[in-house]
Structure formats: C-alpha cells, structure tokens
C-alpha cells in the first residue's frame, strides 16, 4: 500500500483510494521520532490525498500523526 522510509512515506493515489468504498477516509501513521507534530510532508500528503479522493467523491475525515504517548488530529486542529 505504501512505502515508508526513516524520514518520509510515499503513498500511491491508487492505494489511497482502496478501502474507501464507504465514501470517507482516515489516514494515520506514526513518527519514528516519537513527536506527534505534523511535518510539511504530512501536510502535503494530506492535501494530495484530499485532492485525489475528491475525484471519486470521497471525503478525508482526518489524518492522525501518532507519537510516543500522544496523537495529533488534523481535523481537531482545523487543518483539513
């Protein structure tokens, strides 16, 4: 589905669309650093997924970044 590296993750648009048959999607991943703050790459990924999924009428409901003992929600921060 996606390929993760130490500092980044790549996801194909096709993989992002799979599993969204109910017309809504959540995205979540951890940060190896343990810090649950979104990076610029996280924000760019979220925007890319939103645009790609909008083409097939799927709404991204949230993107979670998980760190040590904490998680950050894009929706709660108004970043979607």
Pairing of strands 9-11, 70-73: unpaired
77 conformational bin, left if phi > 0, alpha if psi -120 to 50, beta if neither: alpha
> What does the pLDDT look like over 3-35, one tens digit per residue?
444 555 566 666 655 655 555 566 777 888 889
C-alpha torsion angle, residues 2, 29, 61, 54 (rounded to 10): -20
Of the pLDDT bands very low, low, confident and very high (cuts 50, 70, 90), residue 56 is confident
Under 8 Å between Cβ of 32 and 6: yes
Q: Residue for token digits 């997924």?
A: 49
With respect to CATH, is domain 24-80 assigned 3.40.140.10?
A: yes
User: Regarding predicted confidence, which is higher, 58 or 51?
Assistant: 51
Which residue ranges make up each domain of the chain?
24-80
pTM over 0.95: no
């Amino acid at each position: 589905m996606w390929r993760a590296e130490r500092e980044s993750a790549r996801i194909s648009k096709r993989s992002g669309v799979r599993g969204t048959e109910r017309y809504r999607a959540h995205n979540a991943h951890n940060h190896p650093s343990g810090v649950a703050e979104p990076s610029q790459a996280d924000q760019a990924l979220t925007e890319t997924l939103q645009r790609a999924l909008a083409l097939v009428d799927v709404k991204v409901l949230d993107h979670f970044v998980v760190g040590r003992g904490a998680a950050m929600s894009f929706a709660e921060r108004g970043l979607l």
